[in-house]
Structure 1
Amino acid sequence: MFSSPRRAKPHLWICVLTLGVYLSSVPVSAKPDSLREVTDGNWEEILSGEWMIEFYAPWCPACQQLQPVWKEFADWGEDMGVNIAKVDVTEQPGLSGRFIITSLPTIYHCKDGVFRKYQGARTKDDFLSFVDGQKWKAVEPVSSWFGPSSFLMNSMSALFKLSMFIRRCHNYMTEQLGIPVWGSYVIFGLATLFSGLALGLLLVFIADFVFPSRRFSSPDYYQKKQTMEQARLIQQQEDAHEADGEDDDDEEEEEEDPDEVWKRRRGSPEGRPEPRGQGFSDEALRKRVVGKRNEEEEDDEEEDT
């Protein structure tokens, strides 16, 4: 009659064990990783809100020492309302050029698109104090010229991506295709030469199209040029005719009577014009010329005799 409670104990233990097995079989959701990864594809997300971003490389010893501290700091990020992120510069060369990473690890603080470089100690308490105490306000922000979204930094990002692409091509040609290192350098040198020539030619065409020469851009340029050529030829012909006319005049003067020559010149026998008011009349001038000729003839006859 009193044995029923004793018999119930095995059933109770069975129920407890069953409940324990059930609870242990239920999957427990893991805590999500609070450390975010920033890439070239999603980096624009850091332009809104507050962020602490670490730039690192897996081969860097200082970066390896900082990783545990950075993960502990990331666990506090949700409580403080700050996004904690990291960037692997070996996998994201564009971001390395966009932020001009010259040393590792490098830490940036970002608040609504305004970036400041962290220069303090690298402990969890210092990180918490920097964010919670708003010590970042005392740090001078990065100039807008060097901001990650500026044109200059976009160009730097493209340049770093190009350099990484060239490096990968070099590794592929030397390791996979078996091309010697010097052969790879020759290929890249020729590619650079021809691409530079093509780019220079394209720039010349663009400049000539946008800023054409005024001389050739005028619609009546060729018409003016042709008119000037015709005028030059006509002037040459006129000069030639004038020269021929002077020669003819000289020949006519030689054939004319001396009296007519002196009448036309109305000057001295030597051919020099006389001063005004001292000229001779036509009759006197004729007698003077004839007398001079007679004297010359007499002198010639005397010389002959």
Structure 2
Amino acid sequence: MDSTMRGVCYILLLAIFSQECSLAVAKSSLIKLDDNNWDQILTGHWMVEFYAPWCPACQSLQSHWESFATWSEDLSIKVGQVDVTQSPGLSGRFMVTALPTIFHVIDGEFRQYRSSRTKDEFISFIEEDKWAAIEPIPGWKSPSSLVMSLVSYLFKLSMVLRSIHTKLMEEYGLPTWGSYLIFAVATIVMGALLGILLVAVIDHFYPPKPHTGGKSVANKSDSKGKKKKSDDESGGDDDEEEEDAEANEDEEYDENDDNIKDDLEEDESEKNAGSGSGSEETSSVGGSPRVHKRKSRKAD
């Protein structure tokens, strides 16, 4: 009986020891990633999980993920895990909006895993190359892109501000509105300083041109005066030409009037002279009356 009990105890101890060894191997195969070492996933073949300790779904997945990590050497991949509470920058870089989130990474190409979360399904996903049927994340949304790097810094900044807010309320006893007021004043001050700095930088690279408003106005007034003077001179010349033309026309009219008067006088005198000697002139000319030629007038 004692030997039987001893055998049972040995078996239990062996089972517990083997389980502890398997857990130790799983933990050693599971690589913890953070803001400092995450870039190692840009090379090689990886499966990475994003989780939070307070997340119930993450807690239920933990055993499956650790068991899957023990197959990493057989599958020629690496299995990683990111705690978003400790590395908020990575949650922003990968745009993690739900927990847990799993990514497949091969040579810097990212795909989000959306299948069943079991060890067997993970193994099948790698062995059968199911990841090849998934569309990779576009380059601009890739965690290694400049855009996502800026997003990660914004997430880090938000966590820093949140920790400051918590410290002001818990350690210094400020009310919530007091903490918000401090943040509002700090935001206004920082905005003003950044605006001044931006204006200084622009003025340094693109200095303003010297003001020449007075000279331009004077030049404009001089040009206007010269133009007016030239117009007056040209206007005066035009007036003189018009006066000369009118004077010539008056002279022509006067000459025409004189010619008409002379013609009328000659006609009168010829009529008076013709009344006495009309018969003689008709006989000498052969019975035809004498034709009087008038002087030619000047053309109007």
How would you bin the TM-score normalised by the shorter chain? 0.5 to 0.7
Which amino acid counterpart does residue 43 of structure 2 have in structure 1? Answer: S
Number of aligned residue pairs: 227
Report what 2:155 is aligned to. Answer: 160
Q: How does 1:20-39 map to 2 (within 5 A)?
A: 31=25, 33-39=28-34
- Give the secondary structure class of the aligned counterpart of 2:143: coil
Cα deviation for residue 161 of structure 1 reads: 0.2
Q: C-alpha distance in 1, partners of 2:200/2:122?
A: 55
Does residue 62 of structure 1 match 2:73?
Answer: no
Q: C-alpha distance in 2, partners of 1:228/1:59?
A: 73
Report what 1:278 is aligned to. Answer: 250
Deviations along 1:175-210, one digit per CA (max 9) or x if unpaired, are: 011111110000001111111122223223333433
Which consecutive residues of structure 1, in runs of 5 or more, have no partner in the other structure?
Answer: 1-27, 242-264, 268-272, 282-305
Which amino acid counterpart does residue 278 of structure 1 have in structure 2? Answer: D
Which residue of 125, 131, 134 maps to 1:130? 125
Call closer, same or farther: CA 1:121–1:238 in 2, change over 3 Å. Answer: closer
Call closer, same or farther: CA 1:173–1:266 in 2, change over 3 Å. Answer: closer
Cα deviation for residue 274 of structure 1 reads: 4.1
Call closer, same or farther: CA 1:274–1:44 in 2, change over 3 Å. Answer: same
Does residue 50 of structure 1 match 2:45?
Answer: yes
Q: C-alpha distance in 2, partners of 1:148/1:234?
A: 66
Which residue of 82, 89, 96 maps to 2:91? 96
Which consecutive residues of structure 2, in runs of 5 or more, have no partner in the other structure?
Answer: 1-20, 230-241, 255-300
Does residue 197 of structure 1 match 2:192?
Answer: yes
Call closer, same or farther: CA 1:231–1:82 in 2, change over 3 Å. Answer: closer
Which amino acid counterpart does residue 137 of structure 1 have in structure 2? Answer: A
- Give the secondary structure class of the aligned counterpart of 1:109: strand
Call closer, same or farther: CA 1:266–1:60 in 2, change over 3 Å. Answer: closer
Does residue 72 of structure 1 match 2:67?
Answer: yes
Report what 1:293 is aligned to. Answer: none
Does residue 173 of structure 1 match 2:145?
Answer: no
Q: C-alpha distance in 2, partners of 1:175/1:93?
A: 22
Q: C-alpha distance in 2, partners of 1:238/1:157?
A: 68
Call closer, same or farther: CA 1:232–1:52 in 2, change over 3 Å. Answer: closer
- Give the secondary structure class of the aligned counterpart of 1:164: helix
Deviations along 1:6-50, one digit per CA (max 9) or x if unpaired, are: xxxxxxxxxxxxxxxxxxxxxx9x646111100000011000111
Report what 1:255 is aligned to. Answer: none
Call closer, same or farther: CA 1:170–1:277 in 2, change over 3 Å. Answer: same
Q: C-alpha distance in 1, partners of 2:226/2:45?
A: 88
The TM-score normalised by the length of structure 2 is 0.66
Provide the identity percentage: 45
Q: C-alpha distance in 2, partners of 1:234/1:79?
A: 93
Report what 2:145 is aligned to. Answer: 150
Report what 1:40 is aligned to. Answer: 35
Greater Cα radius of gyration, structure 1 or 2: 2
Report what 1:186 is aligned to. Answer: 181
